[in-house]
Chains A and B, each alone.
Chain A
């Protein structure tokens, strides 16, 4: 019960030594449209990303993971969106930054890779133009210099025959190639932070593995900080040091990768893990889906948002929402938001 009354969240990702590169504090995003109940897409998210760290944000559709990143970069637009909290990049407040300055940060210091590389590339511009425009914008390269650099970037993401490819249009490339182009574009200005929003979801399995490998070699190995947003725990397992699990706009569990997979504490996390097929499982063992869908919990309920779907629900679950804190006796970096966490011997 003392946990329930404790309302101050611990900061996920804190205490990794260096000052954080990205510091998100109590970020709240509410979508409002006339005649409808406002939707709290992000409800008090705080997290730190240290320089060079790889951080995974995991959650199912509608958990607010993409909205968190879009809001942080000012990409949500202004109409019908209410954003509060603070997002600091290298000490500068992104949420209150004048638009011109923010545009100078985006693409240069912080880059993004999106989910669907077909719709994320402009269909009427050559990929060469789409890469050179960012080189022009942030690095002042022009004409042949920009084209040479663009060709080099394409080579670095594994696209051969780069000079000819620069003249291709997006529809002439395969899905995997398009995502490579997106990554080349994102890395064009050697950003300090890359946010990859479901970068492999639209791709088939083998291509997805290649893209993840590419991200590892270009981003992780070059000490660029990476925030990887995904619904796929398998993707996180391969790339991320720190994992935040989101549910209905809140971080429900946050832990170093090993701790999360070895000792998941939130019932939602265990549910996610149980629903992933594993090679070491005997054949014939059925996967365990989490019953219901996140929309069942909307409109907002007090208390734990996962409670309606939770098998470990206790009466306290539907009181005031639990805070995000370390469990007694577990690592201080392993935080969980639950009144009835999963005991260690459960898995």
Chain B
């Protein structure tokens, strides 16, 4: 298991090298550069040349790349042109928001999706199965921004249960030791702050969690249905095990194998791609930050951000594979 993990981590090196070259070339192939965003389109050529020189953009691309990678190796990702603060700091701060949002979304998807998929799989063609099928298809089909605005309109504006935008009421000033606002409130004992952060978190988490929810429901349903027909379930029944033991120990445990993989893959996706949800709810996470960096041609942020997301994606997948071994002894011993 350890050599497996190490091998997978070593694989990161070629992935990151290749990706860094691609990203480096891509951002420079975009029309316009950071100078246009900084100075506007009517600036003088002299000012533009000055800014380009200041960021080293006047040098040949391979030179820029080598000097960039030289710094990256020392974990220095440069300074954001937009905010003039270190890229690593900006990413770290916003990534916590994304992590909190993703965690809540996946939690929502798992807590609803697995029981729903389980019931649907045990009773195929029942009303609850049909409901989950239609719901899943709808969940996958509806665009996130439509769902986001719909949720906001109904649950925040009409009913007033939750908040529309942001992560916490700006009037609340509280400590943020972890950067996860709900957790911070609980840790510091400031429960009203935690509650406020929670009310901000619910709607974006549901909007973001809908597609994973639909996928997890479908996969769970299929897996439960398949495992229910396995011979070993019949054996458990023949042994006279109680219904709940047959269900939990024999069906659910085996059915969870494919579901774990899907949860991991979806987590990886959400961590890197919550741009729409974060924008609709002005959540201030990594996704919306990356999107705005593309508009302002903030090269260091785009480059650093993509490399960071790649690392996260590979790590999440590694975790999925390792956890697979925990669930399935056949993988563990292979």
Q: Report A's interface with B, CB cutoff 8 A.
A: 70, 73, 75, 99, 103-108, 111-112, 114, 116, 119-126, 133-134, 137-138, 169, 171-172, 182, 185
Indicate if the CB atoms of A138 and B240 lie closer than 8 Å: yes
- Minimum CB–CB distance for A146 against chain B, Å: 14
Chain B residue numbers with a CB within 8 Å of A123 are 232, 254, 328-330
Indicate if the CB atoms of B241 and A171 lie closer than 8 Å: no
Bound complex: CA of A334 vs CA of B47, how far in Å? 110
Q: Which of B235, B241, B245, B330 has the most CB of A within 10 A?
A: B235
Given A106-B237, A114-B235, A119-B231: A124 and B327 within 8 A (CB)? yes
Chain B 280-316 near chain A by CB (<8 Å), digits 1 or 0: 0000000000000000000000000000000000000
Chain A residue numbers with a CB within 8 Å of B253 are 122, 124-125
Bound complex: CA of A133 vs CA of B250, how far in Å? 11
Total number of B residues with any Cβ neighbor in A under 8 Å: 24
Indicate if the CB atoms of B249 and A133 lie closer than 8 Å: yes
Indicate if the CB atoms of B249 and A114 lie closer than 8 Å: no
CB closest chain-A residue, reference B123: A79
Indicate if the CB atoms of B236 and A122 lie closer than 8 Å: yes
- Other than A103-B240, A116-B231, give 14 A-B pairs with Cβ distance below 8 A: A70-B234, A106-B239, A107-B238, A107-B241, A119-B230, A120-B231, A120-B232, A122-B249, A122-B253, A122-B254, A123-B330, A124-B328, A134-B239, A137-B239
Indicate if the CB atoms of A137 and B242 lie closer than 8 Å: yes
- Minimum CB–CB distance for A81 against chain B, Å: 14
The answer to the question of B333 belonging to the interface, with a C-beta cut-off of 8 Å to chain A, is yes
Chain B residue numbers with a CB within 8 Å of A171 are 329-330, 333
Bound complex: CA of A185 vs CA of B249, how far in Å? 17
- Minimum CB–CB distance for B120 against chain A, Å: 15
- Minimum CB–CB distance for A74 against chain B, Å: 8
Given A106-B237, A125-B249: A169 and B330 within 8 A (CB)? yes
Which single member of A99, A112, A126, A133 contacts B238 (CB below 8 Å)? Answer: A112
Indicate if the CB atoms of A119 and B239 lie closer than 8 Å: no
Indicate if the CB atoms of B240 and A114 lie closer than 8 Å: no
Q: Which of B231, B237, B240, B242 has the most CB of A within 10 A?
A: B240
- Minimum CB–CB distance for B138 against chain A, Å: 26
Q: What are 16 A-B pairs at a CB distance below 8 A?
A: A70-B234, A73-B238, A75-B237, A106-B240, A107-B241, A111-B239, A122-B254, A123-B254, A123-B330, A124-B329, A125-B250, A134-B239, A134-B241, A137-B241, A137-B245, A182-B235
Within 8 A of A (CB), among B238-295: 238-243, 245, 249-250, 253-254, 257
Bound complex: CA of A123 vs CA of B240, how far in Å? 19
- Minimum CB–CB distance for A256 against chain B, Å: 29
Chain A residue numbers with a CB within 8 Å of B249 are 122, 125, 133
Chain A residue numbers with a CB within 8 Å of B234 are 70, 75, 114, 120
Bound complex: CA of A262 vs CA of B153, how far in Å? 85
- Minimum CB–CB distance for B126 against chain A, Å: 11
Q: Which of A99, A114, A126 has the most CB of B within 10 A?
A: A114
Bound complex: CA of A70 vs CA of B235, how far in Å? 11
Bound complex: CA of A50 vs CA of B253, how far in Å? 40
CB closest chain-A residue, reference B237: A75
Bound complex: CA of A107 vs CA of B329, how far in Å? 26
CB closest chain-B residue, reference A126: B329
Indicate if the CB atoms of B235 and A120 lie closer than 8 Å: yes
Chain A residue numbers with a CB within 8 Å of B250 are 122, 125
- Minimum CB–CB distance for B256 against chain A, Å: 9
Chain B residue numbers with a CB within 8 Å of A125 are 249-250, 253
Chain A residue numbers with a CB within 8 Å of B236 are 122
Given A120-B234, A124-B253: A104 and B333 within 8 A (CB)? no
Which single member of B235, B240, B327 contacts A104 (CB below 8 Å)? Answer: B240
Chain B residue numbers with a CB within 8 Å of A106 are 237-240
Given A122-B250, A171-B329: A108 and B241 within 8 A (CB)? no
Which 4 residue pairs spanning A and B have beta carbons closest together? Answer: A107-B240, A106-B240, A107-B239, A119-B231
CB closest chain-B residue, reference A131: B239
Bound complex: CA of A112 vs CA of B327, how far in Å? 28
Indicate if the CB atoms of A103 and B241 lie closer than 8 Å: yes
CB closest chain-A residue, reference B253: A124
Chain B residue numbers with a CB within 8 Å of A111 are 238-239
Chain A residue numbers with a CB within 8 Å of B257 are 124
Within 8 A of A (CB), among B317-334: 327-330, 333
CB closest chain-A residue, reference B328: A124
CB closest chain-B residue, reference A116: B231
Indicate if the CB atoms of B235 and A137 lie closer than 8 Å: no
Bound complex: CA of A73 vs CA of B330, how far in Å? 31
- Minimum CB–CB distance for A111 against chain B, Å: 7
Indicate if the CB atoms of B240 and A121 lie closer than 8 Å: no
Indicate if the CB atoms of A121 and B232 lie closer than 8 Å: yes
CB closest chain-A residue, reference B242: A103
Given A124-B254, A133-B249: A169 and B241 within 8 A (CB)? no
CB closest chain-A residue, reference B234: A75
Bound complex: CA of A169 vs CA of B331, how far in Å? 12
Chain B residue numbers with a CB within 8 Å of A112 are 235, 238
- Minimum CB–CB distance for B242 against chain A, Å: 6
Chain B residue numbers with a CB within 8 Å of A122 are 232, 235-236, 249-250, 253-254
Bound complex: CA of A105 vs CA of B238, how far in Å? 9
CB closest chain-B residue, reference A185: B239
Indicate if the CB atoms of B240 and A105 lie closer than 8 Å: yes
Bound complex: CA of A99 vs CA of B257, how far in Å? 30
- Minimum CB–CB distance for A161 against chain B, Å: 18
Indicate if the CB atoms of B237 and A121 lie closer than 8 Å: no
Bound complex: CA of A126 vs CA of B249, how far in Å? 12
Chain B residue numbers with a CB within 8 Å of A134 are 239-241
Bound complex: CA of A104 vs CA of B241, how far in Å? 8
Q: Which of A73, A106, A120 has the most CB of B within 10 A?
A: A120
